[in-house]
Structure 1
Amino acid sequence: MKLFIRTILLATGISLVSLSCDDFVDIDPYYAQDAENYFKSPDDYQRALVGAYDLMQTSYLDIWIGEIASNNSIAGGESVTDSEGLHQIDAMTHGGVNTELRSIFRFMYAGITRVNYIFENKDKLEFDGKDRILAEAHFLRAYYYFELVKFFGDVPVVLDRRLSATEVSGLPRTPKAEVYTQIQNDLIAAAEVLGWSTPVKGRITKGAALSLLGKAYLYQDKFTEAATTLDEVINDGPYALSADFATIFRASNEGSSETIFDIEYVGTEGGSYGCFVCLEGFAAVGFHGIRQYTGPIYTSGNSYNLPTQDLVDEFEPGDPRLPASVLDIEAFKTAQLPTEVLYGVGGGGHTGYFNNKYLKRLDELGAGDDDLTSPVNHKVIRYADVLLMAAEAHNRKSAPNDGLALQYLNEVRQRPSVNMPAVNVTGSALTQAIWHERRVELAGEGLHFFDLVRTGRAAAEIDGFTTNKNELFPLPQDEIDLASAGWAQNIGYNN
């Protein structure tokens, strides 16, 4: 699959994306194909769609930044200069020169380019099943633009044609509201065609499209629209909460009833430290691993994205989701006696905790360098997330339905294997209860920073957060320098 995807990248001329990967230019001419002479068969459309899916595999950055920018975790790692951009985000000192933020900007536009390549050629051939391919492409474009708008705000929107560096930099930034309108249009188009299930594991479904649409509405405070959309997922979809919370994130539990949208990874070699976009495995898992670890169950890693005491303290006493979400390494070490457990502490910080949802385990190792080849999938939207988004939407809409909001909230709290006491409050107290539940239920999944920002709580919760600045991340300065359209930096950032 990777060979095809690299060929498509070269053939479509995505000069916008400089990914520092020799494999992207070292292609045997036998496999090279002129983009203008592509799309001669249904298989060509399918392969182009696979290429459009591929940029989702850079989602490790979404988890890291969504946690590290919040009060849920610290950057960690070997030193403060190891992935320095993450440490800057942790300290809220980040600016326009930041490797991780630049990667998000470029990766997402690379994905959009691959989607637009399909739409640019959508009329070249008619065949059964093309409507589904285009529906999945609509979802992918919405996903990539959603990532861009939630990180950077106003971004250029280009539809149905490929992007080059010159074209993108020559376009003005599209206002955030218009970007969301395009996201909504793409997701509605996807949901109209797709079914609730798919015969191909990992492909987008109607439930994924509606769930992301509901999330896009929620991020705009369109609570009535969010409630209606998410109710459709709850009432008509095939989803249910997993009975065992502790195993939701295990590779052996992929495709469970709780999974609405996940990003597929496989445990094979597919890239290197010089080309993270080439990876086939989920880098977040290996990099979350316990530094210099020896002992049972787990294996050694790089100690990134370390949960904080603040997050641990958010859990109610006796909540079984705490040990399933956060590994207390000293408590674990004691529990293994007389078996000896050893670990090291990185210079990038140490909290005593590790992200237990996405943590490298002995029975989930990939081939080659297993820091880069975890087969564990990234669960982007779970049914619990949908229930809690719907609860918030019903509670906060102009005509609140707190009864239904409570039902959804308590369904999450009282699932088998969790069994926390039911909540029975209304109004603003219910709002706070839902926000609390989102933090503990979704801990370590990369959502908390964006939840804090969209609900106006970030300044009160995040040390160093500056209001009217840190709600957005800065545009990469390199992209501003290239922009003949004269892009202004986001407010409050000088570089």
Structure 2
Amino acid sequence: MKKLYVIFITLSLSLVSCDQWLDIEPEYTQDAENFFNTEEDFQRAVIGVYDLMQTNYLQVWIGEIASDNSIAGGESVNDTQGLHEIDNMTHGGVNNELRDVMRFNYAGITRANYVFENQNRVDFPEKEQLMAEVAFMRAYFYFTLVNYFGDVPLLIDRRASINEITQIDRAPRAQVYAQIEQDLDRAIQNLPWTNPVVGRITKGAAMALKGKVLLYQEKFSDAAQVLDELITNNQAGYALFPDMNTFWLASNQNVSEDVFTIQHSGLQGGDYGCLVCLQGNPAVGFHSIRNYTGPFYADGNSYNLPTQDLYDFFGNDPRRQVTILDIEAFISSQPNPNDITYAVGGGGHTGFYNNKYIKRADERGLPDDDLTSPLNYRAIRYADVLLMAAEAFAQTGNEARARTELNKVRSRAGVANINSSGQQLLEDIYRERRLELSGEGYRFWDLVRTGKAAEAIPGFQVGKHELFPIPQVEIDLAGGRWSQNPGY
């Protein structure tokens, strides 16, 4: 029962996690019974909920590797084997990466529920705003889970005791979505448009996430309404960053295009044995060039490598060089190409690297700098908001408005406007999402929700691969109460 306890309880009830999100002094003087008595207690607990969002590296990896955008890469096919299985569509119920998705997100949910359990213990002026932040994060964790696994156990405002685990069923996906929407409504109603503390959840982030949640459910009219309000009201001043070529540099983080960003820091290290313990963004080091010596970039582990198909898809679109590093072309363009070297991993090589989340020589964190990148994860940026709005408007017959929002994104990229209509307009919007958002972890979900996964992903089986399998160890530890997803 120890591992199941970790999923639902230990990672969340502990007042000190592996990265010590609550620093209690003196030690042994506070526990769950005498905590949550001050505003400071609530603030510290909420930071603990934020902490679990930093497992976003799994979103970037799986959302790209499961699609036609990239291959797993790495040192060998046995190096992070679960990613190679996902890449090949041979994944099953025994997969470490998928298990991490489940347990890390439930750890975040349980931390959020722990705060909600105690929300009436003390009052202070900013409490409702703080609780709205927690509601948003719980919605984000559940949205991740429902996308991966479909029906999932639904726990609200309380933690599960160890004796309850074998009594909890998977809730229908519609019920989970209803709770997600309820949490996001609370966040929208109680959060400000801006917050002086960088990285705190805002009203705009909650509206953007709700728009995405509605779009994924094909509630196109509702999605159009929420996204329209976000775009037209826009008291946060969201706008497309003018220079897409420098947008992904660390010096241009937390700018007007960043609607919902998960913050990272290069100031706290860790090790490969506990990626969830890190404050840095480990995806960046994992994506980078193996044994690289040369200018501008730094060495890494050669994971999540863009495919030739993605490279060719861009054609002459200027976003190709923003999204993809063609290593040989880069080397040949340097004044000293013979002095630049790199290695090819045994897990596969395409010649391309994710140029959005990649280690640059002047953006390293503390050693081991593979694990301490300060690059934030842009979970929803304004370009995504505009493209989601374009899709929602096109689906509800407002084609003029759909073209307007679509062409804002294209204009920033320096490419011609789209003037299509009907089904072709929708196809152009889907195509634009790949051009604009590749490398960011959205591609697999876009293919699944638009019914295009089977034609794009080799080995994809309709009726099976739209969802990932429930980790078998969790089914076993729940006493076999949870059924496995179809086909696994």
The two structures share one fold, judged by TM-score above 0.5: yes
Does the CA contact (< 8 Å) of 1:14 and 1:163 recur in 2?
no
Residues 89-135 of structure 1: CA deviation (Å, up to 9, x unaligned): 00000001000000010000000011001100000001110011000
Is 1:372 the counterpart of 2:371? The answer is yes
The amino acid of 1:344's aligned partner reads A
Q: Secondary structure at the match of 2:102?
A: helix
* C-alpha separation in 2, matches of 1:162 and 1:71: 39
What's the counterpart of residue 142 of structure 1?
A: 139
C-alpha separation between the residues in 1 aligned to 2:107 and 2:161? 10
Structure 1 position 31 matched with structure 2 position 27? yes
Contact 1:170 1:485 in 2 (8 A): no
Counterpart pick for 1:444 among 439, 448, 451:
439
Q: Is the 8 A contact 1:268 1:368 kept in 2?
A: no
Q: Aligned partners of 2:20 and 2:165: how far apart in 1? A: 21
Query: Which amino acid letter does the alignment assign opposite residue 380 of structure 1?
Result: A
Mapped partners of 2:20, 2:167: distance in 1: 25
What is the TM-score when the length of structure 2 is the normalising length? 0.94
- Per-residue CA deviation, residues 411-453 of structure 1 (Å, 9 max, x unaligned), is 00001xx210111100100000000000010010000000000
SS of the aligned residue for 1:421 comes to coil
Residues 91-490 of structure 1 correspond to what in structure 2 (within 5 A)?
91-237=88-234, 238-317=237-316, 319-339=317-337, 340-397=339-396, 400-415=397-412, 418-484=413-479, 486-490=481-485
Q: Does the CA-based 8 Å contact 1:173-1:487 persist in structure 2?
A: yes
Q: Secondary structure at the match of 2:270?
A: coil
Of 210-219 and 243-252, more deviation after overlay is shown by 243-252
The CA RMSD measured in Å over matched residues stands at: 1.9
User: Greater shift after overlay, 224-233 or 246-255?
Assistant: 246-255
Aligned 8 A contact 1:39 1:124 in 2: yes
Shift of 1:17: 10
Deviation of 1:22 after TM superposition, in Å, equals 7.0
**CA displacement at 1:291 relative to structure 2:** 0.5
Cα deviation for residue 29 of structure 1 reads: 8.8
CA contact (8 A) 1:155 1:174 kept: yes
Distance 1:469 1:305, change over 3 A: same
Cα 1:44–1:23 shift into 2, 3 Å: closer
Q: Could you say what secondary structure the match of 2:405 adopts?
A: helix
Please give the secondary structure, in 2, of the residue aligned with 1:75: strand
In 1, the alpha carbon distance for the partners of 2:332 and 2:358 equals 19
Which letter does structure 1 place at the counterpart of 2:345? Answer: G
Partner SS for 1:441:
helix
Moved more, 150-159 or 164-173: 164-173
Equivalences for residues 78-97 of structure 1 within 5 A: 78-97=75-94
**Helix, strand or coil for the counterpart of 1:306?**
strand
Partner AA of 2:99 in structure 1: R
In the aligned structure 2, how far is the partner of 1:164 from the partner of 1:259?
A: 38
Query: Contact 1:15 / 1:165 at 8 angstroms: preserved in 2?
Result: no
CA-CA distance at 1:168 after TM superposition: 4.0
| 8 Å Cα contact 1:267-1:366 kept in structure 2 | yes
Please identify, of 96-105 and 261-270, the stretch whose mean Cα deviation from structure 2 is larger. Answer: 261-270
Runs of 4+ in 1 over 2 A off after TM superposition: 12-18, 21-25, 27-33, 163-170, 337-340
SS at match of 1:346: coil
**Contact (CA 8 Å) 2:290, 2:302: kept in 1 or not?**
yes
Using the TM superposition, give the Cα deviation of residue 484 of structure 1 relative to its aligned residue in structure 2, in angstroms: 3.3
Would you say the 8 A contact 2:184–2:210 is kept in 1?
Answer: yes
Which blocks of at least 5 consecutive residues in structure 1 are unaligned?
A: 1-8
27-36 vs 381-390, greater mean Cα deviation: 27-36
> Does the CA-based 8 Å contact 2:139-2:180 persist in structure 1?
yes
Aligned partner of 2:486 among 475, 485, 491: 491
Query: In structure 2, how many angstroms separate the alpha carbons of the residues matched to 1:242 and 1:458?
Result: 31
**CA distance 1:359–1:17, shift in 2 (3 Å):** farther
Write the deviation string for residues 316-374 of structure 1: whole angstroms up to 9, x where unpaired. Answer: 42x21110110000100100132422111000000000000000001100002000000
The one-letter code of the counterpart of 1:329 is I
TM-score when normalising by structure 1: 0.93
In structure 2, runs of 5+ residues without a counterpart are none
Hey, what's the Cα distance between the residues in 2 that align with 1:17 and 1:329?
Answer: 46
**In 1, Cα distance between the equivalents of 2:19 and 2:194?**
35
Q: Please give the secondary structure, in 2, of the residue aligned with 1:452.
A: helix
Q: Which amino acid aligns with 1:82?
A: D
Q: CA deviation at 1:254?
A: 1.2
Could you tell me how far apart the structure 2 residues matched to 1:405 and 1:327 are? 31
